[in-house]
Amino acid sequence: MNGGGPLLAQAAGERHGLAIVLFTVFVTATLAITAWAGRRRSSTVEFFAGGRLFTPLENGFALAGDYMSAASFLGISGLIALFGYDGLLYSVGFLVAWLLVLMLVAELVRNCGRYTFADVLAARMRRRPVRIAAGTASVTVSILYLVAQMVGAGSLVGVLLGGSDSGAARTWTVVGVGALMVFYVSFGGMRATTWIQIVKTVLLIGGTVALTVMVLARFHGDFGRLLNTAAANSGHGQAFLAPGLKYGGSWTNRLDFISLGLALVLGTAGLPHILSRFYTVPTARSARRSVVWAIGLIGAFYLMTIVLGFGAAAVVGTGKVHASNEAGNTAVPLLAEALGGGQGTTGGTVLFAVVGAVAFATILAVVAGITLSSSASVAHDLYATWRRKRAAARDEPPAEEGESERREVRVARLAAVGVGAVAIALSLLAQDQNVAFLVGLAFAVAASANLPALLYSLFWRRFTTRGAVWSIYGGLVPALLLVVFSPVMSGRPDALLPGVDFHVFPLENPGLVSVPLGFLAGWLGTVTSHEPADEATYAETEVRSLTGAGAA
Amino acid sequence: MENDHGGELGPLRMDDPWRDATGGGAWVPEQQGPARPQESVEERPPDGRAAAYLEVQDSAAFREVRSRYRRFAFPMTAAFLVWYLLYLVAATAAPRLMAHRVAGELNVAMVAGLAQFASTFLLTWAYARHARVRRDRIALDLRWSLATRTGQERVR
């Protein structure tokens, strides 16, 4: 399975041999972790929750690892290097979102569920329809996010190889990343995935701290001077330090950004791979402390990306960053090279290689986390529901628990392969497309489909099964439809289908419309429901959510 | 602290019970306990259990935990969401205001952005402290009392 290293080496050529070596070391270490974790018995609690005995510190690092993608590391710094302040708006939304996770979601979800957030709904509602709805929405979010990450990995290879942007190298990267993530998940389950996240977070934070210190040292610790130099070298002057360069202009453009901002801040609390992390710790209190650690790490990380972004503008220059990659993804590698002494020097080559390897480690860990949570949704929500229905139809006696657990884990391992195959196929199809919008779309779907159902279920006494099902589909379907009829699909030269034009919805991100629709549908479904909500199960959910009584 | 289950729980309390809870014994429910079907609404919970939960939900101690939680979490959530949306709208709709210099190189936008980071850290700290000081102990008492009443077993 050690495919990543050689595949990349084949494409890399001499200059970035070091990056390949570093990345191979990381892949080897992660494979060793997987082998170690895979020796354990395969119960569901082991496979989906890593045994549930991680410490808050460990889980905090893993949460941060699941959340900080290469899009944050390279993408946000790159946007700051290109557009100055407007890039920073992203990082604020990505961070503030965690307050919602901390205050309304983490502890309560931990107390009420076992492996996936659908457990929280199923505890109160008729199990079959809500599990199918929540499982479908979770898998949709995961696939969108996975494709965005894997296409990003492919283009990152091209970018880091400096111009030798061969199609074969990208294709093999996508396949290699996909194969590795499937291997981690199906053999190592949650335990391996968590340790891979932890290693990745340490590497990512370490690399970011080192670069930040070097940038600040170059400006003698004077942040004002850094900003001034960045503004001067950006070609935009002081406008670089204020909003408007990217999201100014037309009102559609501005509304689009508000829509994206809303999706970012509300979506995090509905991301299935984040929610299932809370089941790896023993209590709600540990879940809370994990989130506190995660917020500390993520906040520090985004503060540092601001320094790196403005640093890239100041040291490398916005023009050069743009010339290297139009999306700005090379800003941090170029900055690292410049800080190390420039192109061709030993220091520059080493730092460039380190940044490249850290970026790959980041992508690999993130996709593994998403694959795991979607395999949990398939096995624990969709398959188990189907299985029970079939057993009921055939009038079979319910399976013995150990046996049904083993079967669930087997299905999850297979589901990881299936999800991986779908993600690889879609990523290969989309690899020449501009899929940056997919991350925003994944957040928008999470915010419109998962979050309303989750919040209503935790806090609304009268919420019913119909309300839950309506709120999930009422957020999911509009979000996807609006994107189909948006400018990212048709009507623009850089759209997915550039030849035709059937766009009727002006915004790229559907969040502004689909999030309220999700909440509205949940309310409507509840008030039109014929069956009243069950007082006893709500009492149980409420008491359990706040006390942890009976928590798994 | 008001707690109408306090009396019978005395001997079970420990100094840092949550920590202890992670260790083993009765509080690692996955590894023991009788085999039972997963949670469900279809299979009705036994009436005794439903009654226990309804009664706890109605108890003064639980209502106190719930109101302490909601009185903190709901207004704070509303506050940070409004503050974030204001920031977002100001950045997109009033870039000129945001470009106004306040001190040195720092303009309104930069100060507001850094203030978002600062307020996030501050609220995180405040929430964690509030939960630790005002909620954890009562919640744990209730958890113990429910575990006792439902037979010291895994409830689902």
pLDDT tens sequence across A39-48 = 887 788 999 9
As to burial, measured by CB atoms within 10 angstroms (0-12 exposed, 13-18 middle, 19+ buried), residue B115 is middle
d(CA B83, CA B106): 20
* Cα–Cα distance for residue pair A386/A394, rounded to 1 Å: 12
- Spell out the residues 6+ positions from residue A458 whose beta carbon is closer than 8 angstroms to its own: A104, A108, A109, A112, A120, A541, A542, A545
Are B39 and A549 within 8 A, CB to CB? Answer: no
Give A-chain residues touching B79 at CB under 8 angstroms: none
Task: Compute φ and ψ for A398, nearest 5 degrees.
Answer: -60, 140
The SS3 call for residue B102 is: strand
Q: Does the CB of B91 have a partner CB in chain A at under 8 Å? A: yes
Residue with tokens 């829509």: A259
User: Could you report how far apart the first and last alpha carbons of chain A are, in Å?
Assistant: 35
Q: A241 CB near a chain B CB, below 8 Å?
A: yes
| Contact with chain A for residue B99, Cβ under 8 A | yes
Distance CA A3, CA A11 (A): 13
Chain B touched by A380 (CB under 8 Å): no
- Which candidate, A444, A436, A67, A108, places its Cα nearest to that of A273? A67
Nearest to A408 by CA among A52, A47, A117: A47
Q: Is the dihedral of CA A291, A294, A296, A300 positive or negative?
A: negative
* CA pair distance A403, A71, nearest whole angstrom: 41
Chain centroid to Cα A239, Å, comes to 31
B103 DSSP β-pair partners: B106
First to last CA, chain B: 29
pLDDT of residue A183: 94
Closest CA to A515 of B67, B85, B3, B34: B85
Q: Which segments of chain B are extended strands (E)?
A: 101-103, 106-107
Could you tell me where the beta strands, DSSP code E, fall in A406-490? Answer: none
* Interface test mutation site (partner B, options A42, A43, A285, max chain B beta carbons within 10 A): A285
Q: Is B116 on the interface with A (CB under 8 A)?
A: yes
pTM to 2 decimal places: 0.88
Contacts B136 to A, Cβ<8 Å: 285
Q: What are phi and psi of A291, to 5 degrees?
A: -65, -35
CB proximity list for A200: less than 8 A, separation 6 or greater: A65, A361, A362, A364, A365
**Who among B50, B105, B140 is closest to A227 (CB)?**
B105
Contact A547, B21 (CB under 8 A): no
**Residue A542 to residue B63: CA distance in whole angstroms:** 11
Return the sign of the alpha-carbon dihedral for residues A335, A336, A339, A343: negative
Band the pLDDT of B37: cuts 50, 70, 90. very low
Amino acid at B116: Q
What Å distances lie between residue A493 and A228, A246, A250, A488, A490, CA to CA?
Answer: 36, 19, 18, 9, 8
Residue A488 to residue A475: CA distance in whole angstroms: 19
Q: What is the pLDDT of residue B151?
A: 60
Looking at residue B52, its pLDDT comes to: 87
Q: pLDDT at position B46, please? A: 56
pLDDT band at B155 (very low <50, low <70, confident <90, very high): very low
Token pair belonging to A263: 């999706």
CA dihedral B77, A91, A57, A181 (to 10 degrees): 120
CA-nearest of A202, A95, A212, A308 to B122 is A95
**CA A7, CA B49: separation in Å to the nearest integer?**
58
The nearest CA of chain B is from the CA of A245 a distance in Å of 9
For chain A, which ranges sit under pLDDT 70? 1-16, 159-166
A412: its two tokens: 């999850």
Alpha carbon distance A63, A267 (integer Å) = 15
Q: Any chain B CB within 8 A of the CB of A118?
A: no
Integer Cα distance of A128 and A143 in angstroms? 22
d(CA A129, CA A293): 36
| Min Cα–Cα distance to chain A from B10, Å | 18
Provide the total of helices (H) and of strands (E) in chain B, helices listed first.
Answer: 7, 2
Q: A166 with A412: CB under 8 angstroms?
A: no
For residue A295, give the nearest of B66, B77, B124 by CB distance. B124
Closest partner CB to A99 (pick from B80, B107, B109): B80
Most B-contacting residue of A259, A408, A547 (CB-CB within 10 A), to test interface: A547
Strand partners, B106: B103
- Nearest-angstrom CA–CA distance, B16 and A274: 28
Beta strand residue intervals within A19-136, DSSP E: none
Closest Cβ opposite residue A265 in set B84, B104, B156: B84
Nearest to B62, CA basis, from A84, A549, A63: A549
**In whole angstroms, what is the distance from residue A463 CA to residue A321 CA?**
51
Q: Quick one: pLDDT band at residue B27, thresholds 50, 70, 90?
A: very low
| HEC assignment per residue over A363-401 | HHHHHHHHHHHHHHHHHHHHHHHHHHHHHHHCCCCCCCH
Cα R_g (chain B), whole angstroms:
23
Candidates B27, B92, B144: best to mutate against A (most CBs of A within 10 A) is: B92
Q: B80, A119: Cβ pair inside 8 Å?
A: no
Question: Is B62–A100 a contact, with Cβ atoms under 8 angstroms apart?
Answer: no
Does B154 touch chain A if contact means CB atoms closer than 8 Å? yes
CB contacts, 8 Å: B109 with chain A: 85, 241-243
Cα→Cα distances A419→A186, A235, A431, Å: 11, 45, 18
- CA distance linking residue B85 with residue A519, whole number of Å: 18
Contact between B107 and A283 using a beta-carbon 8 Å cutoff? no
Q: Indicate the domain borders of chain A.
A: 4-24+44-123+150-244+266-432, 433-552
Q: Do A241 and B109 count as a contact with CB atoms less than 8 A apart? A: yes
Inter-helix orientation angle A401-430/A384-393, to 10°: 130
Chain B residues within 8 A of A547 when measuring between CB atoms: 56, 62, 65, 139-140, 142-143, 146
Whether A64 has its CB under 8 Å from any CB of chain B: the answer is no
Interface confidence (ipTM) of the complex = 0.92
Per the listing, tokens 């884990």 go with A409
Name the nearest CA neighbour of A56 among A205, A204, A194: A194
At B25 the pLDDT is 35
The tens digit of pLDDT for each residue in A228-282 reads: 999 999 989 888 998 888 887 788 888 999 999 999 999 999 999 999 999 999 9
Read off the DSSP letter of residue B38: P
In angstroms, rounded to a whole number, what is the distance separating the alpha carbons of residues A239 and A549?
55
- Residue B39 pLDDT: 43
Task: Give φ, ψ of B102 to 5 degrees.
Answer: -110, -55
Q: Which amino acid would we find at residue B89?
A: V
Q: Do B41 and A127 touch (CB under 8 A)?
A: yes
* Smallest Cα distance from B37 to chain A, Å: 7
Mark which residues 26-85 of B lie under 8 Å from A by CB. 27-30, 35-42, 45, 49-50, 53-54, 56-57, 62, 65-66, 69, 73, 76-77, 80-81, 84-85
pLDDT of B4 strictly over 60: no
Q: Which amino acid, residue A139?
A: V
Q: What does the buried/exposed string (b/e) look like for A91-116 if buried means 16 or more CB atoms within 10 Å of the residue's CB?
A: bbbbbbbbbbbbbbbbbbbbbbbbbb
Quick check: A238 contacting B, CB < 8 Å?
Answer: yes
